[in-house]
Amino acid sequence: MLYQKYTRAEAARSLQINPDLITCWIQEHQADDLGQAFRGQGKLTPQQKEENKRLKLEKEVLKKAMVFFARETT
């Protein structure tokens, strides 16, 4: 397996996700004897669904803010 030397923060920034999510994935992976952090055939727990919804909302807010401030500077 090929590993790249990214910090969690760098990986999160690259993936445009919250660094805490990467930490959760790592903890799940380490806790599972089979090493399957993404078990359940892609089905999310209610907590994961809520986190996903919150992250998408945050991303949308940031996109709108970026557009707003870009207009203000021109």
Q: What is the rounded CA–CA span in Å between residue 42 and residue 54? A: 18
Q: What is the pLDDT of residues 1-51, one digit of tens each?
A: 456 788 888 988 988 999 999 888 888 777 766 655 566 666 777 888 899
Structure tokens at 36: 């399957």
Q: Which pTM value belongs to this model?
A: 0.43
Band of residue 66 on the pLDDT scale cut at 50, 70, 90: very high
Structure confidence at residue 43 (pLDDT): 73
Q: What is the DSSP letter of 40?
A: S
Looking up tokens 């799940």 gives 28
Structure confidence at residue 38 (pLDDT): 60
Q: Cβ(37)–Cβ(31) under 8 Å?
A: no
Mean pLDDT score, 53-70: 94
Run of H or E residues at 33: none
State the virtual CA torsion across 47, 49, 50, 56 in degrees, nearest 10. 140
Q: Which amino acid is at 73?
A: T
